[in-house]
Structure 1
Amino acid sequence: MCGIVGIVGAGAEQQVDLVQRMRATERHRGPDGEGIFTDQGVALGHVRLAVLDLSAAGHQPMSTPDGRYAIVHNGEVYNYLELRTALDDAGPFTTQTDTEVIVRAYARWGPACLDRFMGMFSFAIWDRKARTLFCARDRFGIKPFYYADHEGTFLCASELKAILEAGVPRRPCLPMIYDYLAWGYYEHAPETFFEGIRHLPAGCYLTVRPGEPPRLHRYYSLPDRVGRQPALSEEEAVERLRGLLDETVRWHLRSDVKIGVTLSGGLDSSTLLALVDRQAVHPEQIEVFSCDYDDPAYSERPWVEAMVKAVGRQAHFTTLGPEECWRSLEAITWYQEEPFGGVGTAAWVPLYQRAKDRYVTVLLDGCGLDDILGGYRSHHAVYLAGLRAQDPAMFDHEFRCYRATWRLTRAAALQDVQCAGGEGRATMAGDGSDPVCPECLSPSLANDGGTRPKFPRPFESPLKNTMLQGLLYTKLPRALRFKDRLSMAFSRELRVPFLDHRLVEFCFGLPDHLLIRDGFVKYALRKAMLGMVPDAVRLAPKRVVSTPQREWLAGPLQDEVAAILMSASFASRGVVDPDKAREWYRRFQSGKRTNSFYVWQWLNLELWFRTLIDPPCVAQAPGWSPEPVVAGVVRT
C-alpha cells in the first residue's frame, strides 16, 4: 500500500513544491520510496510501501514504455500475474509489480480494465495524449481516494490532510456532523467532515481535464451483479462457499514481504486463520496477532487460544488499558482525520506496533463476513420481521431461537422485531440499545439538520437490503477507514480477503434461510467451517459488546471526559448543547443509559476540532503517547 496525491489545472506542472508538501503528509503510508511526475497541467506524487518487487524498479510514478500513460497507485490487484500473461504481447515487462500491469491494462482496455481487476485499489492515470486524468476506486471502497475542486484546480489524495495542505479551507461540514450526532451515520455519503472535500464512491471512476469539472462514472453495482444461485442444495451451497473462501485467501497471500493474521475470538478471523493454514505454502511462517483489554470481562483470549491451539500456533497478544488508550487519542484522531470508533479502534494501536516490531508488513483481516452473511443482531431481527408476515409457523420457531441466542426477554425480542419492521425507533446498536442522543444537539444544528438519510433498497429481501446498507453505506465503510488509517500509521498493509467481489456476489445471492437459521447468524459459514474451526468458536453466539468503553468513560476516564465537557472550546462549537451534554453524562454515569457511543461522539468531535480544525497547521503528526502505547502492556 502507498499514498498518492495529484493536482490538475493550469500551471500544475510548476507546483512541485506543493506536491512535495502534500506527499509529506502521507509519508507514513509509504516509507520505502517516493517520486513525482509532471506534465503540462498535471502533477502527481507518490510514497511507496514496497510489497511486490522490492527493488527500485517498483517505485512510482510509473509510465508505459511509450510514455503516454503515467500512474500513481495505492493498493493491490491480486490477479496481476494472470493479467500480465494476457498483456505480454505488448512488450516485455520491466518490473514484477501489479502497478505496471494496471497501467498497461488501462492502455489496452481503457476503463473496462476495472472489470478485470480483483483486489483493493485506488489510482490515478494521466493520459498525455488525451490530456485526461483517470481516477478509480475499488468496488467496495477498501482503499481511500479523496478529491476537491478548489479555485478551478482539481486536487486528489489518499488522505484528507494532503488536500488540506494544498489550501482547501479547514471548515467543518455541518450536515455531516448532524447526520453523525442525530443518526450515528458517517462514511455514508460522498461528503466528508471537511466542507468541500469528497471521497470517490466505491465502484466508481472519474475523469478530469484541466479547466473542466470532474466527471463521475459508476462501473460496478452489486445489486446488478447478484442473481439467485442456480438451484443449489444446502450441501452444494456450503461447498461452493468453502471453495470461494479458499480461493480468495490464496489470492491474498501473494506478497514479497512477511505476512501476518489478525485474530479476535470470533468466527470470522478464526475462519481466516484456518483458511490461511490450508492455502499458505509455509503457514508456520505466518504470525498471528491479537489485541486484548486489561479487563477480563472483555477479553477474547480464551477463544483466541482455542483457535491457535487447534492450528498448532502461538499468538502475539497486545493489551490496552484506559490510560494508554487516552494518551493515544490525539494521534489516532490525526491519522483518522474524521470521527472514529472509540476504544475498539484504539485497541489496534499496540497490535500494529507489535506487527511493525516483528517486521510483518502485510496483515490479513477477517473484516466483511458479518456484512455479507447476515452476521449482526440487526440482520437477525430484520429476517424475523420478514418471516412474521410470510411464514408464521417458521417465525414462531426462529423467534424462540432468537431469544435464546441473544438472551432476551420476550418483550425485548419483540421490540427488536417491531423496530426492524419499521414500527419503532430509528437507531439500534448491536446490543439493541440506543447509541445516539439527539436530545443534546444544539438548537441551531437541530433546526438546520435534515431528515434521516435513506439508502437504496433494490432487493426483494429486507435482509439483503439491510446487509447492503451496512456493506456500502454504514458499518463497513467506516470500519475500512478506521483500519486503513491506523494500519498505515504504522506503515502496515491491511488486506481483507472476504471482500473479494465474487464471494460477496455469491453470498448476496444465497437464500435468506442459508444465512440465518435455527438461531444462528452466518449459518452457511458455520456449516462450511465444520472440522476446520473448533466448535467452541464455530458455534459460539456473536458477542455484541466487545470493548470496555462504557466502563472506562464512566469510571477510570471520568475526569478526562468531564474536563472536555466543561471546556470553553466544547461549549463554543455550536453543535452540542453543553449543559444538556453534561446532564446526560451524569445520567450515563448513574447507569440510566447503557450505550456509551453518544458520550464518545462528543469527545471524539471535540478532539477532532482541536486536532484538525483549530491548529494553524495539521501537516505534522502529533505523535503517540509519551511512552509508546505498546511498552509494558504487551504479553506474549
Structure 2
Amino acid sequence: MLAFAWPWGRPADEGPQLLSQRLASSLCAGIGGHAGSASIGGLHFAYRELRSSAAKSRSWKPSAMPSGRIAAFHGYFDNAASIAAEMGADPSNPALLYGLAVERWGDDADRRIIGEYCAIIADPDSETLRLSRSPLRAPPLHYFHDEGLVAASSVPRAIFAAGVEQRLNEERLADSALLNFSDLEATYFEKLFKVPTGHIVELRRGRSRVLRQYYDLFAMPAVRLGGDAEYVARASELLDDGVRTCLAGFQRPGATLSAGLDSPQVALRALECMAADEALPTFTFHPETGYDERVQEYFLGNERPMVEAFAAMHPRLEPHFTANEGYEHDYRWNDFFHLMGAAPSGLSNMYVFHGLLSGAARERCDVLLLAEWGNYTFSDKGEWGYVEYFLTGRWRQLWRALTCINNDDRSVFGRFLLRCLMPLMPDFVWSAARKVAKPRHRSLLDLMQPLGSKYRKISGAERRLKQSGVGIERYQPRNRRHAQKMLFMNGDADAAEVYQAFEQMYGVALRDPMAYRPFVEFCFGLPVEMFMRDGRTRWLAKEMAKGIMPEEQRTNRLNGRWDADWLLRLGRRRSDLVAELDRLAKDERMAEMLDLPRLRAALEDWPEDTETDPQQFFAREFAVPRGLLTARFIDYVEGRNER
C-alpha cells in the first residue's frame, strides 16, 4: 500500500520525518508489519508491502527522475521487460520505469503498460501531482487536496493520519445501500475522492482537480479470425499468459475452485506453470451441515460434489473445502471499516472469502488465483444474441436460441417478445409491461435495500439512483456494447477496496487471470456466436473445457448459489439481530434512515425452510444485513459505541 502527503506552502524543513513516519504507521495500523518511509524536501511518502519485512522497509524509497519529478508505484507490471527494453531502463524498479515512461509518452504510457497498479508522480517545481490507476483492476487510490495540503493513499486512514478530518459522506453510504456506485469518484468520507480505474487525476495548488480518462473498455475493436479453432486457440494462449503473469514472483500459489467453467480452467493452467511434482491447493466453500438443500430453480446450492469429481481427474490438485464455520455475515465488519474506509453493501455477504483465505493462509499460499472476470469475458452467456440474431436475420440461430431456453415456460412467441423486442423498448415501456405482468411484485431493489422510503427521498438517494440509470432487474442488452456497459455501469462497486482489505487481513495476494488485459480486450471484441450458438450459451468457455472436466460439469446450466445456507446463519442469531434493531429504533436518526419495522418483521416472520421466491427471502437475506452494515459503519466513523 502507498501513502503520500505534501503540505503545500509549508517549509520543507518543518518536521520532515514526522509526517512520513505517521503515514508509515497508519499503513501498518490494525495489521502490523513494517512500512518504509521517506521525506524528500516537503514531500512525504510511505509504502507497505503485503508481506513486509524490516529490511525491505528500511531500503524502500520513491524514485527520483532526472527531471526532478518523484514517482511512487504500487502494484505490478505484466509487461515490464518489454517496456524497459523500449526505455532502456531497469525492469526491476517499477516506480522509476513508470515515471520514465510517463515522461516519454505522457498519458499514452498507461495505455502501453499492462498490469494492475496505482501510481503517484510529484513535480515539486510546478507544484503538480499526477495520480493514476490501471484499467480493469487496480489497487485503490484515494486523495484529498485543498490550499494547504494534498494527500493520496491506497487507504483513507493514511490520509487522516496526514491531518485531514474524518467526516462521513452520508450520500455515498445511502447510495451504497441502494446499490448505486455509479459515482466512480465518491468515497465514504467528505472531501475525499478516489481515482477511477483507467483514469488520471491531476492536482495543482490553487486549481480544481482535472480528471482524464485514458482508457475506454467499451471501445475495443472487433476481433475476427479464420475459424473456431483459431478463436479457441487464441483465447487459450491469452489465458495461459494471464495465469503466468499472475503467478510471477510468487512461490506458493493457490486457487479458488468452483463447479463452474472459469476457475477450473485457471487452476489447470496454474498447474502447467508449476513443477511436475508440485500440487496446487484449491479452496471451495459449501453450505453448513443442516442446510436443507432448497434453492431457487436453476441454481446449485452445493458445489462440492462436482469439485471433487473434477479434482479426481487431476491428481495434482489438492482440494480444500470450507463450510465457513464461525464466519457470520458480520464477521470482522469493524476491521473492514478500518482497513478499507468503506461500507459497500456487498460486504454483507462476502463472509465466504474468510474461509477461502484462511485456508490459503494455513497452506502458506502467498497468492490466491480468482476467476471473477470469467463471466465478463470468455464465459459470457451472450444474451445480446437474441436481438442481434433478430436484427441481422439469422433466423436459424434465433430459433435455436429461443427454443433451447431451459428456464422459461413461455411460448416461443412470448420468448421472442421478451428477448428480441422488449430490449429495444425504453425503460418506461419495460416498467409498464412489468407492472401488467406482475402487478403484485415489488422491485427486487426495494426488497433488498434497507432504507426508509422517506429517507430515500429527502437524502437525494432516490433522485441520484434514477439519474444514474443503474438497475438490477432489467438486463436486456441490445448489443454487445450495451451489455458491457450495463455490467460495468457501477464500476467495480468498491470491490478493489474489499479485496485489498482481505489481503491485509490474511497476507495473501489476490490475482485474477481472467482480468489480464489482452485476454479481456480479445474477448470483448469477439462475435456473438462465440458466446451463444445453436441454443448453447457460454459456447467458447465450454469448447475450451472439453476433455478437462466431467461432461456433467461442462454442460451444467445451473448457477452456483452464493450464501445458500443463509437461513441457518441468520436464523440462529435472530433474537440478537432483533434486539439490535430495537436498539436502533431508539435512535431518532437511525429510525429515520432505516426501514426498521420492515427489517424487524422480516426477522420475526421466520420460515422453517429456505425460501426460493425472491419476493419472500430478499428482505431477510439482503435487507437485514445491509441495514445493520449501514448503522454500524455510521457508529464506527462517528465513534459511537453506546449501542
Q: TM-score, normalised by structure 2?
A: 0.81
Give the secondary-structure state (helix, strand or coil) at the position aligned to 1:103: helix
- 2:278 maps to 1:284: yes
Q: Which residue of 1 aligns with 2:10?
A: 11
**Amino-acid identity (%):** 19
1:177 corresponds to: 173
Given that 1:515 and 1:522 are in contact with CA atoms closer than 8 Å, whether structure 2 keeps it comes out as yes
Write the letter of the residue equivalent to 2:37.
Answer: I
With over 3 angstroms needed to count, the CA separation of the structure-2 counterparts of 1:572 and 1:410, relative to structure 1, is: same
Give the letter for the 2:622 counterpart.
F
Alignment partners' CA distance in 1, 2:271 and 2:498 = 27
From 466, 486, 503, the equivalent of 2:483 is 466
Partners of 1:563 and 1:9 lie apart in 2 by 49
Q: Given the superposition, is the C-alpha separation of residues 255 and 139 from structure 1 closer, same or farther in structure 2, using an over 3 Å criterion?
A: same
What does residue 311 of structure 2 align with? Answer: 308
Cα deviation, residue 308, structure 1: 2.5
Partner of 1:527, secondary structure, is helix
Is 1:611 matched with 2:636? yes
Letter of the 1:350 counterpart: G
Residues 1:47 and 2:48 aligned together: yes
Match of 1:560 among 576, 580, 587: 576
- The answer on whether the counterparts of 2:20 and 2:39 sit within 8 Å (CA) in structure 1 is no
Whether the 8 Å contact between 1:135 and 1:205 is mirrored in structure 2 is yes
Q: Which residue of the partner structure matches residue 454 of structure 2? A: 443
1:204 matched residue in structure 2: 199
1:330 to 327, 334, 337: 334
- Contact 1:29–1:48 (Cα < 8 Å) also in 2: no
- Stretch of structure 1 that moved more, 62-71 or 342-351: 62-71
The change in CA–CA distance for 1:589 and 1:504 in structure 2 (over 3 A counts) is same
What is aligned with 1:399?
402
| Deviation (angstroms), 1:201 | 1.0
2:378 is equivalent to residue 347 of structure 1: no
Mapped to 1, the partners of 2:565 and 2:8 lie a distance apart of: 46
1: distance between equivalents of 2:443 and 2:264? 28
**2:136 is the alignment partner of 1:145:** no
Q: CA deviation at 1:489?
A: 2.1
Tell me how far 1:21 sits from its aligned partner. 3.2
Counterpart residue identity of residue 446, structure 1? K
| 1:284 CA displacement | 1.9
Does the alignment pair 1:134 with 2:137?
no
Query: What's the RMSD between the two structures over aligned residues?
Result: 3.7
| Corresponding residue of 1:70 | 70
Q: Does the residue aligned with 1:207 lie in a helix, a strand or coil? A: strand
Question: Is residue 596 of structure 2 the alignment partner of residue 578 of structure 1?
Answer: yes
Deviations 1:448-494 (A, max 9, x none): 331241379xx9953432223324625x4444432232122222221
Secondary structure at the counterpart of residue 616 of structure 2: coil
Asked if 1:216 corresponds to 2:211, the answer is yes
Correspondence 1:363 to 2:368: yes
Q: 1: CA distance between counterparts of 2:145 and 2:126?
A: 20
Letter in 1 for 2:9: A
Shift of residue 527, structure 1, vs aligned partner: 0.9
Partner SS for 1:26: helix
1:235 paired residue among 229, 237, 244: 229
Q: Is 2:321 aligned against 1:317?
A: yes
Which one is further off, 309-318 or 291-300? 291-300
Q: Secondary structure at the match of 2:46?
A: strand
Mark the CA change 1:494 to 1:173 in structure 2 (over 3 Å): closer, same or farther: same
Partners of 1:299 and 1:519 in 2: CA distance: 26
Looking at structure 1, the residues matched to 496 and 403 of structure 2 have their Cα atoms a distance apart, in angstroms, of 34
1:354 shift after superposition: 2.9
Give the Cα–Cα distance (whole angstroms) in 2 for the partners of residues 466 and 117 of structure 1: 27
Q: 1:38 to 1:55 in 2, by over 3 A?
A: closer
Amino acid at match of 1:10: G
Query: What amino acid does structure 1 have at the position aligned with 2:505?
Result: A
Structure 2 partner of 1:80: 80
In structure 2, do the counterparts of structure 1 residues 154 and 357 end up closer, same or farther at CA, with 3 Å as the change threshold? same
Deviation at 1:367, TM superposition (A): 1.5
Please, which of 589, 594, 610 is the counterpart of residue 617 of structure 2? Answer: 594
1:627 corresponds in structure 2 to none
Number of residue equivalences: 595
Residues 439/211 of structure 1: CA separation in 2 closer, same or farther (3 Å cut): closer
Shift of 1:599: 2.5
Q: Which amino acid aligns with 1:409?
A: D
- Change in CA separation of 1:287 and 1:460 when aligned onto 2, cut-off 3 Å: closer
- Report the CA distance between 1:300 and its aligned residue: 2.2
Partner residue, 2:567:
551
Secondary structure of the 1:532 match is: coil
Aligned to 2:507: 491
C-alpha displacement at 1:144, in angstroms?
0.7
Q: Distance in 2 between matches of 1:29 and 1:228?
A: 47
Distance 2:417 2:181 in 1: 26
Instruction: Quote the Cα distance in structure 1 between the aligned partners of 2:58 and 2:266.
Output: 29
Q: Secondary structure at the match of 2:481?
A: helix
The verdict on how the C-alpha distance between 1:201 and 1:65 changes in structure 2, with shifts beyond 3 A counting, is closer
User: Structure 1 residues 55 and 278, CA, compared in 2 at 3 Å: closer, same or farther?
Assistant: farther
Query: Match for 2:217: what amino acid?
Result: L
Q: Are the structure 2 counterparts of residues 186 and 12 from structure 1 closer, same or farther at C-alpha, using a change threshold of 3 Å? A: farther
Compute the displacement of 1:502 (Å).
1.5
Deviation of 1:509 after TM superposition, in Å, equals 0.9
Report what 1:114 is aligned to.
Answer: 110
Q: Distance in 1 between matches of 2:607 and 2:416?
A: 28
Which deviates the most, 212-221 or 237-246?
212-221
Asked whether the 8 Å contact 1:364–1:494 carries over to 2, the reply is yes
Q: Residues 562-599 of structure 1: CA distance to partner in whole angstroms, max 9, x if unpaired?
A: 12322236652332232343345556758552322222
| In structure 2, distance between residues paired with 1:321 and 1:414 | 45
**Please, which moves more after superposition, 603-612 or 186-195?**
186-195
Deviations 1:199-236 (A, max 9, x none): 10110112233444332222111223x11123542332
Tell me if structure 2 keeps the 8 A contact 1:188–1:477: no
Asked if the contact 2:285–2:356 (Cα under 8 Å) also holds between the matched residues in 1, the reply is yes
CA distance in 2, matches of 1:152, 1:415: 60
Change (3 A) 1:605 1:223: same
1:275: which partner in 2? 269
Distance 1:601-1:156 versus aligned 2 partners, 3 A rule? same
Change (3 A) 1:217 1:48: same
Give the letter for the 1:371 counterpart: Y
Alpha-carbon distance in 2 for matches of 1:146, 1:317 = 36
Report which of the two structures shows the higher radius of gyration computed on alpha carbons: 2
Identify the residue that residue 434 of structure 1 maps to in structure 2. Answer: 444
Report the counterpart of residue 623 of structure 1 in structure 2. Answer: none
Question: How far is the alpha carbon of 1:408 from its aligned partner?
Answer: 4.1
What SS does the aligned partner of 1:546 have? Answer: coil
Residues 234/499 of structure 1: CA separation in 2 closer, same or farther (3 Å cut): same
Would the aligned equivalents of 2:35 and 2:57 in 1 still touch at CA under 8 Å? no
Query: Which residue of the partner structure matches residue 468 of structure 2?
Result: 453
3-state SS of the aligned residue for 1:350? Answer: helix
The residue number in structure 2 matching 1:186 is: 181
Give the aligned residue type for 2:176.
Answer: Y
- CA distance in 2: counterparts of 1:465 and 1:135, whole angstroms: 30
Structure 2 runs not aligned, ≥5 long: 294-300, 435-441
Tell me, yes or no, if the aligned pair for 2:176 and 2:345 is still in contact at 8 Å. Answer: no
